[in-house]
Amino acid sequence: MQAEPTDAPVPIRPAATVLICRDSAAGPQVLMIQRHASSDVHGGSFVFPGGKVDAADARLDAAAHLDQPAERLHAQLCEEDIDVATAAAIHVGAVREVFEECGLLFAHEAGGSGLRQAAALAADGVAFNEMLGRLGLRLDTRALRPWSRWVTPLLALSSPGKRFDTRFFIAKAPVGQDAQHDAHEAVHSAWLRPRAALESYWRGDIVLAAPQIMSLAHLGRYDSVDAMLAEAASRPPCVVRPHNFEFEDTRATAYPGDERHPERMRVMPGPLRLVLRGKRLEPPGGFDELWR
């Protein structure tokens, strides 16, 4: 009798991340937070606000607290393999994670006293859905534009044993709100120009994971947040399924369009592969290849 496999497949968890951007005199900036060193996913790394979609995200009363029909949210994700309820939960999870990690709330009428009341309720341990109900807030899902979708490969180079199907949204920073990291999951936050963030990574000042490296290289091609939002509105989210392989006695990751990737059509600008050299993931051609 053939032996049954002993290793169960690693489940893929739905997740959501938001690239929150703002314009500055030096060019667009994106909000990044540093995960706590003991975090089980990307501990110590600089990431964009986001996290796993929770079961409670699917239980939010859509009619009362979403500003768009769930069917519209489903359509803009361009994912035929999920249902309408899941699409709505992904949007709710994106807004919730941003609120929990950096205090920004994408909701109508959330400025001023509304935001202070929401923060006070959260500090008292009131769950996100209940907080929205008590304050009668409606999420501003129109502020979130689907940008990309990243699916963790079977053999992940970071956070082994965990796989995520993460939808990256892009959004303009809400007016009149100041980001404040939670000092629990996130120990530091900063508004960074994409190229400056990658330069800091190259010097070894900060730690980045591959999706952040590739997303920063993508964002660094735009001269305004409006240009980023226009780009997001003009196309479906690019789907990125990284492919890991051995390369010159080290590990490497190929992206769609690379000769080692099963998908031969490029889906996003930037390098087609990253190679692990020492503790740094970098394109084979060095830093300048991030911008080709």
pLDDT, one tens digit per residue, over 108-159 is 988 778 899 999 999 999 999 999 999 999 999 999 999 999 999 876 555 5
Q: Where are the domains of the chain?
A: 12-193+221-240
CATH classification (class only), 12-193+221-240: alpha beta
pTM of structure: 0.92
- What is the rounded (10 degree) CA torsion for 185, 190, 109, 60? -30
Alpha-carbon span 122 to 124, nearest angstrom: 5
Number of H helices, E strands in the chain: 8, 14
pLDDT tens per residue across span 235-255:
999 999 999 999 888 999 999
Q: Residue 35: its pLDDT value, please?
A: 82
DSSP classification of residue 260 = T
